[in-house]
Each structure stands twice: as structure tokens, then as C-alpha cells.
Amino acid sequence: MTSGKSRLGTAGGLALTAAASLALCGTGEPGELTGRQLFLRHCARCHTTGGSGLPDGHPLLDNFSRPPADFTDPLFNSMEPGSDWLLAVLHGGASMGLSPQMPAHADRLTAGEADAVVGYLDTLAETAGYPPGELNFVRAQRTIKAFPETELLFLGRYERADDGTDAWKSTVYHGRRLGRRLQVEGKLSQTNRGAEEEYEAELGVKWSFLSRGTSLLVAAGAEAEVPFGDSGSSTVIPYLSHASPLGERFTLQGTLRSHLPADEPGAGDLELSEVVHWRSTPWRRGVFPGLELVLTAPFRGEDAWELSAIPQLHLAMSRRGHVALNVGVELPLTGSRTEVRALAFLLWDIPDGAFWEGW
């Protein structure tokens, strides 16, 4: 979302200004203006009266480091929460790592007027069927997000077994959102355990099939892990994930999945993970602590259930929040496993811009 301060010097710019002025004729005091009228007064110069942004070739585009947002695009309109737009409206584009040409409006709009503008932006695109951005929560270590994303991750895991053997696992993950609710993904992993090396590839698909406004999102998916060489059996992993807010400051996400070895499904397990994150700040950049619990129940009754806890910190480093580092420690609480795992991932949320932008 961007706005400019430069003078309109073209017929197209004058037309925008005239349209905005006509729309405001006959209204009452500024405090009585609707969200649409406020948008036309303060935003239409750069976002146009329809909210689609400046067209290609418009002379004003030369003044922007990042083009004004197109709010008529339903995918863009639905990806992020309205609270992000509110911060940009009140504090300017630079505060969110967006275009510095967008001025702050905190001294021009009351809190109610700013809310009205953001509410009006929601009406500029038909977003029925798109999961709401209010349920686009930060990613956890083990829990699978219900919200479909286009992102790139580099994941690492370290543990030391009781016999003193070090094990390192490195993974490259790419997820790509397709349309309203579908996401496809792929992973490549390498595990070094002492002198042994293991490799595996994974393909997956996720469908965010159920949403209840901004209170609940549910997704179903399946992944297939295929090891290279003779390092083990292929595994199919069906799952369900959910996401819900817990008041204004906390979020809840969870995944119920099953690991089904292709050569012996009865040797698999059922795993439940739930994670709570504290939204320590309304800004996209910040430190978001989380606590994740993972319960694993083997299908075979003679194998013990395992429960572990993963305290973690999600460090959103860019002002857009699209580059983040998450670090955590998996602590076994019950079961036969005693080793502690160190976990980390570096995330790049691709649609929000290049890795180096918005810092």
C-alpha cells in the first residue's frame, strides 16, 4: 500500500482528483465521512478511485520505489490481516518496509476513520473462498500451517544420541500457493549420522477447505517421503491442520497427522502437535515466542507414547515480516527418547518481496 506526495501534472491525474472531489461533494463534517469518501480524499491520488493502483505507463510511477498496491486483486487483498494495512495507513509505508512515498495519516485521520478506510479496502475485491489474512500466523517448528503460502525455507536439526553420535539434518523446502486454497510443496533433505549419509525427497499438497470468518481455518493435506538408495521405506503422511486466534495477543495452530510406511503401514504412528504463539507486538517485525507440544502414539501397543515440548522464538527480521528466523529446542518429556534436538529454520515469504527488501 503506497501513496505519493508529488504534484499531479497530467490529465489522468487531474481526472482522479476531480473524481475524488465530486464524490465528496455534499458530505458533512470530516468525522462523518464514510470509508469510501475518506479513501477518495486521502488515497485515490495514487491508488486510483477504484483502488487498482496506477496503470502501467502512468507518469506518477516514476516517483515510487514500489508501485501502489492493487486492492482489487483478491489474492493480494486477502493475504495479510487488516491490522497490517491499518499500521501502514497510520504510520506510513516506510514503517512497514513498503514504499516510503506513502505518508503517515495518524495526524490526518482519527482511529475510527482509519478503521473505516481499512474496512473499505476489504470491499474492493471479491475474496469469497480465500482464507482471511487474519489467520496467516507465524510458522512453527513441527506444526503444519493451515494457511496456504508461497515461501522458501532452509531448515536444520541437530541431536546427539546416547552413544555420542551426532546427527545433522538439513532441508530445503519450497511451497507454492495455487489459486484460492491450494498449495503444493517439495522438500529435499540430507541427514548425516556419524559416517552415514541419508537423502530423501518429499512432495506434498494442501487444501485449506474450511474457514469460519477470522475465527477458524482448517486444511487437509498429504505428503510422500521417498528416500534415496536403501536408507529406508517410503512414507505417506496424511494430515489435518487448524488455525484459530486466542484473543488479540495469542494464536493457536495444530496438526494431526499419521506416518504410514509404505512397506508396513501398521508400524506407523499418529502424531498430534499444538502450538501457541504470543503476538508480542502488532508490527510485522518482532520476536514472537511460542510453545509447541508434540504427542506421538505408535500404532503398535507395545511401543511407548512420546511427548515432547518445543519452546521457540520466531524472529521476524524485516519490517514486512517476510524474512524470519525461528530457533527452538525439542525436549523429550516422556517415552524412550532422551536426546535433545536443536531446531532452526530461515524463512522467506516470497510474495512480500525480494529477500533484501523491506529491512
Of 137, 151, 156, 139, the C-alpha closest to 330 is: 156
Are 66 and 20 found together in one domain? yes
Are 279 and 158 found together in one domain? yes
Are 101 and 161 found together in one domain? no
In-domain check, residue 328: yes
pTM: 0.86
Higher pLDDT pick, 35 / 15: 35
293-315 mean pLDDT: 92
Strands annotated E in the chain: 151-160, 166-178, 182-193, 196-212, 216-227, 235-246, 250-261, 269-278, 286-298, 306-316, 323-332, 341-349
Q: Is the pLDDT of residue 303 over 80?
A: no
Q: Is the pLDDT of residue 21 over 50?
A: no
pLDDT band for 20, please (50, 70, 90 cuts).
Answer: very low
Are 208 and 105 found together in one domain? no
Q: What is the CA radius of gyration of the chain?
A: 24
How far apart are the two ends of the chain, measured CA to CA in Å? 16
pLDDT digits 0-9 by tens, 150-201 = 999 999 999 987 777 889 999 999 999 999 999 999 999 999 987 788 999 9
Are 102 and 168 found together in one domain? no
Are 211 and 103 found together in one domain? no
pLDDT band for 230, please (50, 70, 90 cuts).
Answer: low
Q: Is the pLDDT of residue 3 over 60?
A: no
In-domain check, residue 82: yes
59-79 mean pLDDT: 86
Integer Cα distance of 236 and 263 in angstroms: 10
Of 301, 246, 307, the C-alpha closest to 277 is: 246
pLDDT digits 0-9 by tens, 253-264 = 999 999 999 888
C-alpha cell at 196: 552415514
Residue at a domain's end among 94, 124, 154: 124
Q: Is the pLDDT of residue 206 over 80?
A: yes
Question: For residue 153, what are the domain limits?
Answer: 133-352
Q: Is the pLDDT of residue 4 over 60?
A: no
Are 288 and 230 found together in one domain? yes
pLDDT digits 0-9 by tens, 90-131 = 999 899 998 888 899 999 999 999 999 999 999 999 999 999
Q: What confidence score (pLDDT) does residue 14 get?
A: 35
In-domain check, residue 359: no
Of 321, 334, 329, 348, the C-alpha closest to 141 is: 329
User: Could you tell me the CATH number of the domain that includes residue 116?
Assistant: 1.10.760
- CA distances, 306 to each of 258, 314, 342 (Å): 14, 25, 18
SS3 of 227-256: the string is ECCCCCCCEEEEEEEEEEEECCCEEEEEEE
Are 22 and 170 found together in one domain? no
Q: Is the pLDDT of residue 19 over 50?
A: no
Are 281 and 159 found together in one domain? yes
Give me the number of domains the chain comprises: 2
Residue at a domain's end among 103, 124, 145: 124
42-50 mean pLDDT: 89
User: Could you tell me the CATH number of the domain that includes residue 171?
Assistant: 2.40.160.40
Q: Are strands 235-246 and 151-160 parallel, antiparallel or unpaired?
A: unpaired
pLDDT digits 0-9 by tens, 328-340 = 999 999 877 778 9
Residue at a domain's end among 100, 124, 148: 124
Helix (H) or strand (E) holding 7: none
pLDDT band for 251, please (50, 70, 90 cuts).
Answer: very high
In the chain, the percentage of residues whose pLDDT exceeds 70 is 90
Q: What confidence score (pLDDT) does residue 63 get?
A: 79
37-45 mean pLDDT: 91
**DSSP SS3 for 87:** helix
C-alpha cell at 321: 515480516
Are 171 and 284 found together in one domain? yes
Q: What confidence score (pLDDT) does residue 75 get?
A: 94
Handedness of CA 125, 129, 130, 135 (dihedral sign): positive
